[in-house]
Amino acid sequence: MSTRNLALERVVRAASPAAEKTVVHTGGEGLDMARVPITVAGDEVILYTARPAGGTNLPVVIVLTEAFGMHPYIEDVTRRFAHEGYLAVTPDLMARQGDAAAFVDDVDRLVSELLQHIPDEQVMADIDAAVKWAVANGGDSTRVGVNGFSWGGRWAWLHAAHARLNAAVSWYGVLDDASSGLYPGRELFPRHPIDLAAELKTPVLGRYAEKDAVIPVAGVTGMRSALEARPADAPEVEFTVYPGAVHGFHADYRDDYSPVAAPDGWQRALGRLRRHGV
């Protein structure tokens, strides 16, 4: 186990199938749920979708997964958004490169054999396709947001610079090269959020942890400094750093969950989406 991944090792162990029994279960009562295949650049991408039963013209939230793919916790979060009135859509952004569940007990292989082979450009196109599907299937094109956790939190930042939506929420997403061992080259990952600070098109809410062993708080400080150089009319960016919390504090299926930071972060995320029209 390499030193750079020690923090993630603890997360992966907690995310093993044995830990799935601790996932908070949000039922599907009153919801329409489906797994929908779409085609992006000739490849099949599966969407997990949930919405209020019979709902149309709904606000849309695209849910971006943490490093472990579309597993029960992420599907549960998708249903939580649906219970809040959203058409919630989770695209399987890793399927072309492999199945995250196959590496759940070996974080080095998860990173080196799967995550490091998923190009940012591919992910941005898949998110665009998920938005397009949502708008064509009961979603309101004028009310669209993105919410990403951990690995998907970085993608939320990147998409905020890639396209203009109403709002984006990033939960403990990588901001810079401080976690460079996770992104060893720039061919597939040309720029991090800090490199795109001046290009943000979408307002962003960042949820971060004081005791994060993967993303140092100094990264948040650096990102704030980079954002200061933007013009006065640039999209709003807000950070909250939760005292004592660690990476993955929203993940209620593992010990890293914070009963203080997680519900507060969730309510702030919903508030941010609604404040910006989603």
pLDDT band at 4 (very low <50, low <70, confident <90, very high): very low
Express each pLDDT in 162-219 by its tens digit: 999 999 999 999 999 887 678 878 899 999 999 999 999 999 999 999 999 889 999 9
Three-state DSSP class for residue 77 = helix
Tokens of 177: 């090269």
Q: 128: domain CATH number?
A: 3.40.50.1820
CA end-to-end distance (rounded Å), the chain: 42
pLDDT band at 17 (very low <50, low <70, confident <90, very high): very low
CA distance 161 to 166: 12
CA atoms within a 13 Å half-sphere pointing along the CA-CB vector of 236: 10
Residue numbers of the domain that contains 162: 3-275
24 pLDDT more than 50: yes
- Report the largest interatomic distance among the alpha carbons of the chain, rounded to a whole angstrom: 50
The residues that bridge with 87 in the sheet, in sequence order, are 60
Total structural domains in the chain? 1
What is the pLDDT averaged over residues 133-138?
98
CA distance 9 to 14: 9
CA distance 201 to 165: 8
CA 169 to chain centre: 8
Q: What is the DSSP letter of 152?
A: H
Residue of higher predicted confidence among 16 and 243: 243
Nearest to 89 by CA among 120, 67, 109, 60: 60
Three-state DSSP class for residue 237 = strand
Rounded to two decimals, the pTM is: 0.93
Task: Classify strands 87-91 and 58-64 as parallel, antiparallel or unpaired.
Answer: parallel
CB atoms within 10 A of CB 270: 20
Q: What's residue 255's pLDDT? A: 86
Which residue type is seen at 101? A
How long is the chain? 278
Express each pLDDT in 52-102 by its tens digit: 999 999 999 999 999 999 999 999 999 999 999 999 999 999 999 999 988
Q: What's residue 180's pLDDT? A: 63
Nearest to 137 by CA among 187, 87, 91: 87
Which residue type is seen at 165? L
**In b/e form, how buried is each residue of 115-140, taking b as 16+ CB within 10 angstroms?**
bbebebebbbebbebbbebbbebbbb
Mean pLDDT of the chain: 91
CA dihedral 206→85→55→25, nearest 10 degrees, is 90
pLDDT band at 12 (very low <50, low <70, confident <90, very high): very low
Helix (H) or strand (E) holding 124: helix 120-136
